[in-house]
Structure formats: C-alpha cells, structure tokens
Amino acid sequence: MTRIRTRALPLLAAALLALLALTQTGGAPTARADSPAAAEADSPATEADSPAAGAGSPTTAADSAVVAGTFTNPIVTQNGADPTIIRYAGYYYHLGTTWASHWEMRRSPTLGGLKTAAPTTIYSETVASRCCNFWAPELHRLNGPNGLRWYLTYSAGVSANIDHQHVHVLESAGNNPLGPYTYKGQVDPYGDNRWMIDSSYLSMPDGRLYLLYSFWEGGTQNLYAVRMSNPWTPTGGAVRIASPTYSWEKVGSGVNEGPTILQHGGRTFLTFSASHCDTPDYKLGLMELTGSDPLAAGAWKKFANPVFQRNDANGVYGPGHNFFFPSPDGKEVWMAYHANSKATDGCSGTRTTRAQKVNWNADGTPNFGAPVSTSTALAEPSGTPAAAVR
C-alpha cells in the first residue's frame, strides 16, 4: 500500500472550510435513501444498514478530502473463496469459505489492509450433522426477534463428503461483527433435509425478508427464493427464480449459484455465478426484479449476456461468487469476488478474494467492467480516512 503524504497547511484550511460549511448547513449531506450505502454514509452504527451493504461510522469532510492509498488484488489469499466484505463502524470485515468447522474473520480500517490482517475465529461447530465443509458465508445486519443483529448464513454438512450440504444461520449477541454468535437453525423450506447451498438475503423496502439459495433439480443447479418470517425460519413454499438457459451458463455443467442482491436507484438487481466452478469460465450473470413480489412468476428478468467473466489478458480466470459493499462515504459501491490466476486452478483453495469498484451505465444498470490484473494499483474506496492509510 502506498503511504500518503499531505501538506499540512492546505489540508488544515480545507478542514476549517469544511467545518464552516457543515455548521452553516446543519450537518453533512444525507446520502440517497436508495443507495446501497446510505446507512454507511450518515447513520449511527446502531441504525439498520442496507441489505446490499454494511453500515459504518460517518466520515468527516476533512477525511474525505484526503486522497487515500492504493492496493492491488488479491486482498485475501487464505480462505479467499466465496467472499463477503462488509463495512461497519470504520472497519472492513472479511469472511470466506474455510472448508473447515469454523469461521474466521479479518478486520482492517482499509481495504488493502485486509492483506495482512490476522484472522480471528468467531464460531466453531461440533455437531456432527453440520460440523464441516463450511462454505459461502454471507453476513447481513437485519432486524430480527432480538432487534438489530448480524446474521451469518452459510452452507455446511458432514465430514464424510459434500453431498449433505445444507443452509444454516448464526445470530450475533450484539452489534459487533466479530460476535459472539449462536446457532439459530437450519433453513429447510421443504422439510426433507435436501441439499442447499449459497444462501443470501433479500430485504424489501416494506420489511419483507426472503432467502435466496441454489439447489440441484432436474440435472441443473438453479436459484430459488423463499419468504422468511425471521432470518432463520422460512414461511410458505420456495419458488424457482432462475435456471441455466444460455450456453455461457452451461460450461462444465448447467449452474446458477451464488446469488446476491444489489439495490440502487430504486431498483433491485441480483448477480449470480454461472457455469461450473472447476472451469475458467465461471462468471457472473445479472437479473433484475421487475415487480414488487420476488416470488411471482416472471418477476425476475435475466440479462442475455454475462456481466463479469475471465480476462486472459489480465491473467484472471473464473471470477465469481461476489458480494457488494459501500465505500466509507457511501458514494461508491464496491464488489468483492473470488478468482484464480491460472486457468487450471478450478474450485481449489487457490481462489483468492479480490475487489473493485462498480460503475453505472446510462440506463441505470451496473457496469462491472473487467477483472483487473494483480499488478493493477487500485485507489482505496472513496472517503477512506487519511489516518487509516499507513
């Protein structure tokens, strides 16, 4: 990471002018309510965050005026697959697939700082039916029966093989993403203990909560949604919302998995991973909710082309299984994803966590660009405090 050098007098003058402006206007400008990072930018850490991002501490005008440092991908190399990154109370928190019986979390005030952040074990499991093969964690701050809590939803199963993976949910004791956590239950909409993976939450503006996940049916791996009465209890039947239909979704085998939500400009988008993860052609597709009922027939429109895929020129293969998070000032949306640096690495532990900024097309749809090389220097997200860069 590049060390920042500033000139003290211009910075002090900028800070004083910013402070005067805040005094005259009564505070910092309020982020748009439909921004995925609205709560991050100007809400206390005790308020609810967007389902597409974490919440965090406010950034002052003086901090925002400082150009932050740079970093390069990858940002996490150990347990870097299927990443989740949130921003909360001035820190980034990272989780990834461990393949083990526990969850590890890394914390850093800067995105690039996750490279050297020491992992902390936040939960360990000993019950045999759900002890092992911990995959695909997602961390969301939701209003549950005990008030605002962090809910960690993930896939796990038995030690013998991966044929008995199911979706589980943990709940934090308070507002600290590091926990402690308690086990709340297995999500089993069918009541028959069937294989399910890659769970994620969709929270609608009126408070309705849904769980999205992936499941094999009819020879393909599809996406499903179910209404939730609380973060771990389904209510009603599950509905299939997507299946692999295009050729780019069927490399290796027909797969739609890893759904996650991006809400922006009053619209709800869903990204998902397509094709088999063992191929370099694992990639991201995009869907959009066209009505107000995520379970209604035809409610999800799938875009005809992939939106993020291998970049041989940059040496990036199999980019997928992503998650969205805000910049410290709420002005940018960023995407965490995993990828390989060799075309032959497949679904192995070589997958590393990477991150880059999301841009927006003129029609309001997200533009993810191409995955950058590991030698490309990226600026820290907008509003990164100068004090955090070292």
Closest CA to 286 of 299, 265, 269: 269
Q: What is the pLDDT of residue 388?
A: 79
Q: What is the pLDDT of residue 362?
A: 98
Q: Which residues pair with 124 in a beta bridge?
A: 102
Q: What is the pLDDT of residue 318?
A: 99
Q: What is the pLDDT of residue 198?
A: 99
∠ at Cα 375 (372, 380), nearest 5°?
A: 70
Closest CA to 335 of 267, 263, 262, 248: 262
Q: What is the pLDDT of residue 386?
A: 82
Could you tell me the pTM of the whole model?
A: 0.84
∠ at Cα 174 (170, 179), nearest 5°?
A: 55
Q: What is the pLDDT of residue 289?
A: 99
Q: What is the pLDDT of residue 389?
A: 76
Q: What is the pLDDT of residue 170?
A: 99
Q: Which residues pair with 301 in a beta bridge?
A: 288
Do residues 308 and 282 make contact, with C-beta atoms less than 8 angstroms apart?
A: no
Alpha-carbon distance 108 to 87, whole Å?
10
End-to-end Cα separation, the chain, in angstroms: 8
Q: What is the pLDDT along the chain (390 residues), one digit of tens a residue?
A: 333 333 333 333 333 333 333 333 333 333 333 333 333 432 333 333 333 333 333 333 333 333 449 999 999 999 999 999 999 999 999 999 999 999 999 999 999 999 999 999 999 999 999 999 999 999 999 999 999 999 999 999 999 889 999 999 999 999 999 999 999 999 999 999 999 999 999 999 999 999 999 999 989 999 999 999 999 999 999 999 999 999 999 999 999 999 999 999 999 999 999 999 999 999 999 999 999 999 999 999 999 999 999 999 999 999 999 999 999 999 999 999 999 999 999 999 999 999 999 999 999 999 999 999 999 999 999 999 987 776
Alpha-carbon distance 68 to 71, whole Å?
10
180 prior amide bond cis, ω within 30: yes
Active site residues: 82, 257
Alpha-carbon distance 44 to 312, whole Å?
43
Q: What is the pLDDT of residue 49?
A: 35
Q: Which amino acid is at 379?
A: A
Q: What is the pLDDT of residue 218?
A: 85
Q: Which residues pair with 227 in a beta bridge?
A: 210
Q: H or E stretch including 8?
A: helix 8-25
Closest CA to 227 of 206, 248, 252, 257: 206
Domain annotation for the chain: domains and CATH numbers:
38-388 (2.115.10.20)
Q: What is the pLDDT of residue 12?
A: 33
Q: Which residues pair with 108 in a beta bridge?
A: 92
Q: What is the pLDDT of residue 390?
A: 62
110, 116, 209, 372, 385 from 390: Cα distances, Å = 9, 13, 40, 24, 11
Q: H or E stretch including 6?
A: none
Alpha-carbon distance 221 to 347, whole Å?
16
